[in-house]
Amino acid sequence: MFEDFIYVLGKYDTWLWRGFLLTIELLVISVTLGTLLAIPLAVARVSKKVWIQALPFAFIYVFRGTPLIGQLFMMYYGVGQLIANIDGIQDHWTWTYLRDPYWYCLLTFVLNTAAYVAEIMRGGIQNVPNGELEAARACGMSPWITYRRIIFPRMWQMIWPAYTNDVIFTLKATSLASTVTMMELTGAARKIVARTALPYEAFISAGVIYLIIVYSLTFGFKGIERYLRRSEQRNEPKTGRAKAATSA
Amino acid sequence: MLDLYGRGWQMLEGGLVTVQLCLTVLPFMIVIGLLGASAKLSRYRTLRVIGESYTVLIRGIPELLVILLIYFGGTIAVQSLAEAISGEETRVDIPAFWSGVAALALVQGAFASEVFRAAMQSIPIGQIEAATACGMTPMQIFMRIKLPQLWRFALPGLNNLFQVLIKDTALISVVGVEEIMRKAAIGAGTEKAPFTFYLVAMLIFLSFTTVSLLVFNYLEKRAARGVARA
């Protein structure tokens, strides 16, 4: 049994390594762009004007209410086909990019992440205590400055655990790229299975790599959470050891 | 256009399979979730460790990988088991439907165990003490005190999980179960109209998740009917 593991890991280590890199690449770009896109969506979503609220509401509703694999197929096969049907597009210089599944995957993951993150951001923004907003207004802050100095820092504090979960969700979502022929971690494992007919060895190896990524992410994000909540820690009663250290 | 090149019925059939998948997974998910939550809150260390590591493992692995592992790996496992019992070469095929159900129950059960754990912990300890004082056995306490309230505390979490479950059934199309996504892929391939077919598939999914949301909201309201509200 273990010989097979060593065989798979020894022979196909480059596939798994490249798969790992592609998974990380997809994750980092999707989360970064998705989060940037989520901010305006969430701000528009909490607007009191219905016509501003309606569009982000519909966007979030559709992307959260349908399976990601469907969104991906819709983009890659559906929109891809519509683009391919445009006259002369296949001779155009952009065609190399327009037929590459990589861009369709990224676009789908970015939009999907944006919808999920915008929804948790909405919760965060709406839970900022009203007194703080009133205080900001009393200090003469404009809405923009209130957002920058009061609402966003408070929001990040509150949503960070949910945001961490969402990043992990996006990591797991990148495995779907394998269904449109991308060779990320799951894609690499599937190819190894096709080549060697050793499903346990290949899939479990990939699974262990996913676990390592997930728990390193969790660990790193916990650290950032402590940083975000540093103002709260200051008010907490210090432990005996910390007190001893300060008095010494 | 409206009858989808004569394939409208097939899409609805796919929808029926998706509903079957969801409703088959649901009881397994709840039972696994309850067992997992009880294990995590158990007074025996071994059970706690098993419960926790189950969630830790499942939480970190993509659903698609679990589905593939059970579909491809499960066949080999059952086959070698059958060969060991009968002593001769046998060929076993696990239906894709059931390997998909097993995979989703395993994944969703892990998340359900977290939901039920939180719900069990929100039952006031005084009630358990009162029940013990009345002489109820642990089983009676579970059936009479914990389970009826668990339902109310766990409903919002289950609502969320069921939404995820509906969307995750689409992943089983990868191993060839003819649910909505698979039917859409077949239609898209033969009629050369991927955009139309996937659009219809997405609309069916959206209607499913909407209905589930409405049903759960009704249940939440119903479950809270005996509770005083501030």
Write out pLDDT tens, residues B48-99.
Answer: 999 999 999 998 999 999 999 999 888 888 888 888 888 777 777 788 899 9
What ipTM does the predicted assembly reach? 0.87
Q: Which of A66, A190, A213 sits opposite B202 (nearest CB)?
A: A66
In chain B, residues with a C-beta closer than 8 Å to the C-beta of A215 are 60
Query: What letter represents residue A13's amino acid?
Result: D
Phi, psi of A34 (to 5 degrees): -60, -45
In chain B, residues with a C-beta closer than 8 Å to the C-beta of A175 are 62-65
Residue A219 lies in a domain: yes
Q: Give Dmax (Cα) for chain A.
A: 78
Q: What domain count does chain A have? A: 1
**Residue A211 tokens, joined:** 């676990």
Residue B210 lies in a domain: no
Residue A61 gets which letter from DSSP?
H
pLDDT of residue B150: 87
Share of chain A above pLDDT 70, in %: 93
**Residue A239 tokens, joined:** 């432990």
Q: Do B194 and A200 touch (CB under 8 A)?
A: no
Interface test with A, best of B199, B202, B208, B211 (most A CBs within 10 A): B202
Q: How far apart are CA B146 and CA B152, in angstroms?
A: 10
Cβ–Cβ contact B226 with A under 8 A: no
Phi, psi of A201 (to 5 degrees): -60, -50
Q: Do B65 and A189 touch (CB under 8 A)?
A: yes
Q: How far apart are CA A11 and CA B208, in angstroms?
A: 45
pTM given for the model: 0.89
Q: Which of B76, B194, B205 sits opposite A67 (nearest CB)?
A: B205
Residue A119 lies in a domain: yes
Share of chain B above pLDDT 70, in %: 97
Residue A34 lies in a domain: yes
Q: Do B69 and A173 touch (CB under 8 A)?
A: no
Which pLDDT band, with edges at 50, 70 and 90, does A186 fall under? very high
Beta-carbon contacts of residue A164 (< 8 Å; ≥ 6 apart) = A217, A218, A221, A222, A225
pLDDT of residue A247: 45
Which range marks the domain in which residue B135 is found? 20-177
Residue A154 lies in a domain: yes
From first to last of its 230 residues, chain B has per-residue pLDDT tens of 456 777 888 899 999 999 999 999 999 999 999 999 999 998 899 999 999 999 999 989 999 999 999 998 888 888 888 888 887 777 777 888 999 999 999 999 999 999 999 998 888 889 999 999 999 998 899 888 888 888 888 999 999 999 999 999 999 999 989 999 999 999 998 888 899 999 999 999 999 999 999 999 999 888 877 776 65
Q: Which residue of A has its CA nearest to B57?
A: A211
User: Higher model confidence: residue A96 or residue A55?
Assistant: A55
Residue B193 lies in a domain: no
Domain of A214, CATH number, reads: 1.10.3720.10
A139, burial (CB in 10 Å: exposed 0-12, middle 13-18, buried 19+): exposed
Residue B126 lies in a domain: yes
What are the strands, taking DSSP E only, across chain B? none
Q: How far apart are CA B110 and CA B12, in angstroms?
A: 31
Interface test with A, best of B54, B57, B65, B72 (most A CBs within 10 A): B65
Residue B35 lies in a domain: yes
Residue B145 lies in a domain: yes
Share of chain A above pLDDT 90, in %: 74
Residue A5 lies in a domain: no
Write out pLDDT tens, residues A97-151.
Answer: 888 899 999 999 999 999 999 999 999 999 999 999 999 999 999 999 999 999 9
Q: Do A70 and B185 touch (CB under 8 A)?
A: no
Q: What domain count does chain B have? A: 1
In chain A, residues with a C-beta closer than 8 Å to the C-beta of B202 are 62, 66, 70-71, 74
Q: How far apart are CA A95 and CA B33, in angstroms?
A: 49
Q: Which residue of B has its CA nearest to A74?
A: B198
Kindly report the nearest CA distance between residue B76 and chain A, in angstroms.
Answer: 9
Residue A157 lies in a domain: yes
DSSP string, A82-138: HHHTSTTGGGSTTHHHHT-HHHHHHHHHHHHHHHHHHHHHHHHHHTS-HHHHHHHHH
Which pLDDT band, with edges at 50, 70 and 90, does A22 fall under? very high
Q: Which residue of B has its CA nearest to A71?
A: B202
Q: Do B202 and A70 touch (CB under 8 A)?
A: yes
Residue A207 gets which letter from DSSP?
H
Domain of B61, CATH number, reads: 1.10.3720.10
Q: Which of A67, A168, A172 sits opposite B170 (nearest CB)?
A: A67
Which range marks the domain in which residue A201 is found? 14-247
Q: Do A79 and B60 touch (CB under 8 A)?
A: no
